[in-house]
């Protein structure tokens, strides 16, 4: 019963994630309109069920007359790719640091662990905001900033696991056979950590999507006219007193996507890494 419920989480979450990825990949096919096409004559149209709404623009239009549904579908491209790329950067950095700290211990461990302690004590969002302000807005810069500021969480978990595995018999045997440290780490330690890393990364994608959205919401991330959920929410906020849908739908897209990813990540954790009840990913200080 319990495992079925978990698998249901995995299935529902996976379906939502697949739907979001399908939207991102098939955006040109799925969108009813060009997301950049402005039409002053139909600006600020309400959704179809509100008085004045039409099926031509099911979720209404923005202040420039652009179709909201099309922009949300295209927005999936930005949010999902930004989240996935930021996770790829932070995971690569964090796993490497964690392996080095856990395997070599000593001075390397002290330096890396101290750096992790310092970065985890930062208000993460403020650090990311300050970094984006310094390097400037834009997709590439934002991915790098989120990736570079998000690595310590992987390091902490990977270091702890590496410390455990480096004392295990099969690693000692590999060492006795004369294998180099690099080969031992790559071929014997890392494969044992993959499940934990995959689970952590899947949950981190959701957090990175929310952070990307907030940076874009503040105008520090993706710049207009590129459709991004956070940017659209930021634009919609200006009109929230009179045109609620402009802020409601992009936010709903963020919520449903991150919910799907979290369900998928939770389900994945129970399948791949059942001993970890709550990953540090969800408990980290932001």
Partner 1 sequence: MSTYVTRRLGQALFVCLGISLITFLLLHVVGDPVLLLLPQDASDADILLLKQKLGLDRPLPTQYLVFLAGALRGDFGESLFTQESVLALILERMPATLELTVAGMLVGLGIAIPLGVVSAIRRGSLVDRLCTVSAVAGQAMPIFWLGIMLIILFAVTFRLLPASGRGTAAHLVLPAITLGAYLAPLTMRLTRSGMLDVLTQDYIRTARAKGVSERVLLFKHALRNAAIPIVTILGVQFGRLLGGAIVTETVFAWPGVASLAVKAIRTYDYPVVQGSVVLLALIIVLANLATDVAVTYLDPRIRLGEERA
Beta carbons of 67 and 33 less than 8 angstroms apart: yes
CB of 239 to partner 1, least distance (A): 11
Q: What is the C-alpha separation between 205 and 268, in angstroms, rounded?
A: 14
CB of 76 to partner 1, least distance (A): 15
| Closer residue to partner 1 (CB): 74 or 124 | 124
CA-based torsion, 150, 151, 154, 157: positive or negative? negative
- 3-state SS assignment for residue 61: strand
| Closer residue to partner 1 (CB): 39 or 163 | 163
| Closer residue to partner 1 (CB): 99 or 281 | 281
Structure tokens at 194: 């993959």
CB of 30 to partner 1, least distance (A): 23
Contact flag: residue 131 with partner 1 (CB under 8 A): yes
Contact flag: residue 133 with partner 1 (CB under 8 A): yes
Return the residue of 11, 18, 118, 194 that touches partner 1, per CB under 8 A.
118
Return the residue of 218, 223, 272, 276 that touches partner 1, per CB under 8 A.
218
- Using only C-alpha atoms, the chain has a radius of gyration, in whole angstroms, of 22
| Closer residue to partner 1 (CB): 141 or 192 | 141
Q: Report phi then psi at 65, rounded to 5.
A: 80, 15
- Distance between alpha carbon 209 and the CA centroid of its chain, in Å? 4
Return the residue of 11, 26, 126, 173 that touches partner 1, per CB under 8 A.
126
Contact flag: residue 49 with partner 1 (CB under 8 A): no
Region binding partner 1 by CB under 8 A among candidate stretches 27-35, 47-55, 60-68, 236-244: 236-244
Contact flag: residue 12 with partner 1 (CB under 8 A): no
Check residue 45 and report its DSSP letter: P
Beta carbons of 62 and 42 less than 8 angstroms apart: no
CB of 203 to partner 1, least distance (A): 9
Contact flag: residue 274 with partner 1 (CB under 8 A): no
Contact flag: residue 251 with partner 1 (CB under 8 A): yes
Buried b (16+ CB within 10 A) or exposed e, 24-52: beebeeebebebeeeeeeeebbbbeeeee
First to last CA, the chain: 35
Contact flag: residue 216 with partner 1 (CB under 8 A): no
Contact flag: residue 226 with partner 1 (CB under 8 A): no
CA angle 241, 246, 252 (to 5 degrees): 115
List Cα–Cα distances, 202 to 79, 264, 267, in angstroms: 14, 8, 10
Question: Which residues of the shown chain bind partner 1 in the complex (CB under 8 A)?
Answer: 114-115, 117-119, 121-127, 129-131, 133-135, 206, 210, 213-214, 217-220, 233, 236-237, 240-241, 244, 247-248, 251-252, 254-255, 258-259, 261-263, 266, 277-278, 282-283, 285-286
């Amino acid at each position: 019963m319990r495992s079925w419920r978990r698998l249901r989480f995995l299935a529902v979450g996976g379906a939502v994630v697949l739907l979001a990825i399908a939207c991102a990949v098939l955006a040109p096919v799925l969108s009813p309109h060009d997301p950049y096409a402005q039409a002053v004559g139909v600006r600020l149209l309400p959704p179809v069920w509100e008085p004045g709404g039409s099926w031509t623009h099911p979720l209404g239009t923005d202040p420039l007359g652009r179709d909201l549904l099309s922009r949300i579908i295209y927005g999936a491209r930005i949010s999902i790719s930004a989240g996935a790329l930021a996770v790829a950067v932070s995971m690569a950095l964090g796993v490497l640091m964690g392996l080095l700290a856990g395997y070599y211990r000593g001075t390397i461990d002290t330096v890396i662990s101290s750096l992790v302690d310092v970065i985890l004590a930062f208000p993460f969002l403020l650090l990311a905001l300050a970094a984006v302000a310094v390097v400037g807005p834009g997709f590439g810069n934002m991915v790098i900033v989120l990736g570079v500021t998000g690595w310590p969480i992987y390091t902490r978990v990977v270091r702890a696991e590496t410390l455990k595995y480096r004392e295990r018999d099969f690693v000692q045997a590999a060492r006795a056979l004369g294998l180099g440290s690099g080969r031992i780490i790559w071929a014997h330690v890392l494969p044992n950590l993959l499940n934990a890393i995959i689970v952590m990364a899947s949950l981190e994608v959701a957090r990175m999507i929310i952070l990307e959205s907030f940076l874009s919401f503040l105008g520090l991330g993706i710049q207009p006219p590129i459709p991004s959920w956070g940017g659209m929410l930021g634009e919609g906020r200006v009109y929230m007193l009179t045109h609620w849908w402009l802020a409601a739908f992009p936010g709903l897209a963020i919520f449903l996507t991150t919910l799907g990813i979290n369900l998928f990540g939770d389900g994945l954790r129970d399948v791949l890494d059942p001993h970890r009840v709550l990953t540090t990913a969800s408990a980290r200080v932001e």
